[in-house]
Amino acid sequence: MHQPSQTLTTRHGFTFHVRPARPEDDGTVAEFFTHVTREDLRFRFLTGMNEVAPAQITALTHVDHRWTENYLAFTHDGATMIATAMLACDPGFERGEVAIALRKDFKQHGIGWTLLAHIAAVADTKDVKVLEAIESRDNHAAIEVERDMGFTVAPYPGDGALLLVSRSIGHAAVPA
């Protein structure tokens, strides 16, 4: 059974819907990534690429819904996919990694902040202890959003180009 769509509203008043990805979303997700900047593709997948490969799309749409969940965000009317937000947890739910990508023409609406808050709430319901993201040092916008939400930033072990951004969860309130 599919989880229903939820309506979220950003601090800027932008309203959108999110729902878990499904296998039949392959085409929608592939089309979405054609509207993500090359730089944002690099930030999301931590590698240079011109397009997202079919196997990567499948990994985003064919998830187990227990340890991994990928949320798709759509405009209020449901016509356009505007973002994706994945939570991937370890088997003991000690850590959950978050990765978000936004469509280039829907930035600056607070969608990333709101999706990160949504993922933190989902992680909390799963009793995840620490929510983390691996960020390129160049991804200043994402790092600023994460800092705004109480994440701490540390060097990523073994790779000077990356940062480990993390926050304890444990039923803590998300900053308003």
d(CA 176, CA 110): 12
Which of the four pLDDT bands, split at 50, 70 and 90, describes residue 1?
A: very low
d(CA 3, CA 44): 25
Closest alpha carbon to 122 in 152, 145, 98: 98
pLDDT for residue 129 is more than 70: yes
Indicate the length of the chain as a whole number. Answer: 176
Is the pTM value of this prediction over 0.75?
Answer: yes
Predicted confidence (pLDDT) per residue in 160-172, tens digit:
999 999 999 865 4
| 112-141 average pLDDT score | 95
Characterize 4-26 residue by residue with b for buried, 16 or more Cβ atoms within 10 angstroms of its Cβ, and e for exposed: ebeebebeeebebbbbbbbeebb
Q: pLDDT > 70: what percent of the chain?
A: 94
Output DSSP code: residue 171.
Answer: T
Q: Hey, what are 14's tokens?
A: 């932008």
pLDDT for residue 87 is more than 80: yes
